[in-house]
Amino acid sequence: MRTLVIASQKGGVGKTTLVGHLGVVAEQSGAGPVALIDCDPQGSLASWWNERAAEAPLFASVAIANLAGHLQALDEAGIKLAIIDTPPAVTDMIRAVLKVADLVLIPTRPSPHDLRAVGTTVELVEQAGKKMVFVINGAAARAKIAGEAAVALSQHGTVAPVTLYQRTDFASSMIDGRTVQEIDPKSRSAEEVVALWKYVSAQLRKT
């Protein structure tokens, strides 16, 4: 089993949306069974999953105090991929989650404030000795700052070659427990998610 952690100390960067979308596209691509894990006390991922009609991906409730043990149990149960959502704060919980990660995906919106805030997350991941990849999320179409953000992030580490653009279908899909690829698999948003998953999947195979 591989464990993908979505982490950022900046709120509002789309962590929960990414977890749900990557979980669904991983199942669709045959990389499952996938288990989603919500470590954010706000419980946004759990709320989204509870609205879903589809049974996959699965949702796993875990205790942080025994996270490694719960992940081992998921592995033994046949789960191939665990994707963990994290809270936007520097806590012992974050450090515990990072310890079990095979890969850390750090979503960042292309704004000066978001870019300044990424340093804390990078420090935590480096302290844990884990591989990390940045993904630019919520970019405005044809905005030059997205390219500038990619250059700035590349000074800290690897940047995914796929940018997710700001569109209303991302937000609306999360209301009823679906994803953009389930609503319209031919949409540009769905194509971006699929491309991002292919890249992330390749990085996971290298771990």
Mean pLDDT of 95-103: 95
| pLDDT tens column, 44-96 | 999 999 999 999 999 999 988 899 999 999 999 999 999 999 988 767 888 99
| pLDDT tens column, 136-175 | 999 988 777 788 888 889 888 899 999 999 999 998 888 8
CA–CA gap between residue 7 and residue 124 (Å, rounded)? 10
pLDDT of residue 10: 85
State the fold for domain 2-206.
Rossmann fold (3.40.50)
Residue 91: Cβ within 10 Å count:
15
Contact between 171 and 180 under an 8 Å Cβ cutoff? The reply is no
For the chain, report the end-to-end CA distance as a whole number of angstroms: 11
41 confidence band (pLDDT: 50, 70, 90): confident
CA–CA gap between residue 177 and residue 163 (Å, rounded)? 23
CA–CA gap between residue 181 and residue 116 (Å, rounded)? 32
Averaged confidence pLDDT in the chain: 93
pLDDT of residue 115: 87
pLDDT of residue 16: 94
Provide the β-strand partners of residue 83: 4, 36
Strand locations in the chain, DSSP E? 2-6, 34-38, 58-59, 81-85, 103-108, 132-139, 158-159, 164-165
3-state secondary structure of 18: helix
Percent of the chain with pLDDT over 90: 74
Query: In terms of C-beta density within 10 A (0-12 exposed, 13-18 middle, 19 or more buried), how is residue 155 classed?
Result: exposed
Domain extents for the chain? Answer: 2-206
